[in-house]
Amino acid sequence: MLQTVEINHKRERFKSLLGNMVLIAMIGLFTFILIASVLGMNQNISVLPSQNSLSKVRTTRDFLSITNLAYFSMRTMFRMIVGMFWSFIFSFVFGVLAVRFKTARRIILPLVNFLESVPLLGFLTFTTAFLLGLFPNSVMGAEAVAVFAVFTGQAWNIMLTLYQTMEVVPTDLAEVTTQFKYSAWEKFWRLEFVYSIPGLLWNVVISQTAAWFALVASEQATVALPKDTTLMLPGIGSYIQIALNRADFISCLWAVLALLVNVGLLNFLVFQPLIKASYYFRYDTGNSSDNPPKSIIYNLIEPASLGHWLLVKFEIFKNFWLYKLPKIWYLFKFDQLFHFLGKLKNFFATLWYIVLLIVGVICTIKLYYFLPHSDFGMIPKLTFYTTLRVFLAMVVSGLIFTPLAVWVASSKRRLNYIQPLGQILGSVPSSVYTPFIIIFISLGYQQMEWWILPLIMVGCQWYYFFNVIGGYLAIPDEIRDVTKIFPLSRFQWWTKYLLPSILPYIVTAIINAAGAAWNADIAAESIQWGKNKIEVVGLGQYISTNDGIKDKSALGTLAMCAIVGLCIAFVWQPLYKYARERFHY
């Protein structure tokens, strides 16, 4: 008996030691990435190589040397983590404002819905100069552009998820907080935020596809030195761009491998442990209770003594955050100030709309004189061609990936194996597939121009895949049981049960996929392979051809944003409202 106890004790000590080693290694890895990246950013912008200077192969220290990929991967990972951090800050601030204040909700929700579908180029066209100006002659300015691209890839989706989840907190839980006289601060952190964590993490994982896509496309910045010059940040995205410029197929493959390793590591070291940890704090509705998520890292660090010590310190911080920090709010009478301002909400709402109208009129007048009037006539035709391609790509993606997602989600075994693979593949940008498209075109199919559809689909198809999986898993078990009792044909099963059950998720997928499809189209309509440039007529080709010509780039981007805004106002939002009100449990 004593021998058995001693063996168990040694086993526990070994697990604790191993967990400590893993935890220290993870902390050391992310600390090293932070320090190395900060040192790389605190340099003069002149140290960044230009796109033209990298067009030729160097005999020593070439940009596409495989040995550079480790450092490039580290810099790209740093931008990803910082962008994620700012996305969470944005989501907490504006998500809570949208829930708490009706006036703020009327402004925030339509704006975020619009921004969610605006192509990445739409943001970078109007923000790159501003971000570079925040850090004059410093690499930090170019880094800010790349981090902002990551932010735009995931902030809107995370914020809307937090808002939607806080809106549907079960009434019985909210009543408990009222009975215990929780303040608004305590109610958010002890109920609403905790209740939102599982769905929030799930959508963060989904948003990674768009964030990686945006980051890889933005690791370059056009600055005036003294004329417009495209500088390349050290990263996987710039590595891919130079490989495409040189028509280096082998380097493209190495870059894709590095990208997949980065995505896999972030998922393995961060998201899988967090998802498993949050599983035990879920509001149990009887769904999938026998299928907890798996995480090797979580299982390793759970018995670590260092982890327990950190949890004790976290408890001290939590006590300060929940109970002592709000006392400062009441000490300075901020609660009374906000109560007084609440009485003036109608005045502030009216003032906001007036200011918005004035700013809109001023910006419209300035844009009218700034934009090239000679190109106005061709924009409607180009917009029609591009819109048609985007529409076809989204339809084909939905027809393929909706049933595929249902097939994956209907089996726990398939879900555990295929879902992580989809997260990795979904992070690969469309430009990576350029070499394969070039091979296809070289066989004589260039005139068909149908090769552009797969490149656009790469940008939007995974939104269908992940959202439909989430919708399928959210169907209550009792509803599934009812469908087994009644003999439904396959057609009835899809039309009477499944599609109505997941329709809100499909509409959400369509809204998310729209912006991604526009982003992918800009790259797809004008692809570069070495000295060869293959183009099709469209708005994306117009924007790519006039890259660096500010007035023409702005005109193309505004036309694209206008189409997105019209779709949001007259198609996606009414459809989403209809799906949410008519098809829910």
Per-residue pLDDT tens, the chain, 585 aa: give them.
556 767 777 788 888 888 889 889 999 988 998 898 888 888 888 788 877 777 777 766 788 888 888 899 899 889 888 988 898 899 888 888 888 877 777 778 777 877 776 666 667 766 777 888 888 888 888 888 888 888 887 888 788 778 877 877 777 788 888 888 887 788 888 888 888 887 777 777 777 767 777 777 677 665 544 456 777 888 888 888 888 778 788 888 888 888 888 888 888 888 888 878 877 766 655 544 456 677 888 888 888 888 888 888 888 888 888 888 877 877 777 767 767 766 777 777 778 778 878 988 888 888 788 888 888 888 888 888 888 888 888 899 999 999 999 998 888 778 777 877 776 776 666 666 666 666 666 555 555 466 678 878 877 888 888 888 878 877 777 777 777 777 777 888 888 888 888 887 888 788 777 777 877 787 777 776 666 677 788 887 887 777 667 778 778 878 887 887 788 777 777 877 777 677 655
Is the separation of the CB atoms in 322 and 190 below 8 Å?
A: yes
Peptide bond into 226 cis (omega under 30): yes
Pure H helices in 267-304: 272-279, 296-301
pLDDT, residue 529, reads: 66
Is the separation of the CB atoms in 47 and 139 below 8 Å?
A: yes
Coil, strand, or helix at residue 91? helix
Is the separation of the CB atoms in 236 and 72 below 8 Å?
A: yes
Domain ranges within the chain, ordered by starting residue: 331-370, 372-584
CATH placement of domain 372-584: 1.10.3720.10
pLDDT, residue 259, reads: 84
pLDDT, residue 439, reads: 63
For residues 221 and 226, give the distance between their C-alpha atoms in angstroms, rounded to a whole number.
Answer: 14
By C-alpha distance, which of 49, 33, 4 is closest to 142? 49
pLDDT, residue 400, reads: 92
Is the separation of the CB atoms in 198 and 473 below 8 Å?
A: no
The two tokens of residue 534 are 């293959």
Is the torsion defined by CA of 129, 130, 132, 133 positive or negative? positive
Where does 132-177 show beta strands of DSSP type E?
Answer: none
Q: How many angstroms from the chain centroid is the CA of residue 425?
A: 14
> Residue 50 has what DSSP assignment?
B
Element (H, E) at 514: helix 499-524
Is the torsion defined by CA of 16, 263, 198, 103 positive or negative? positive
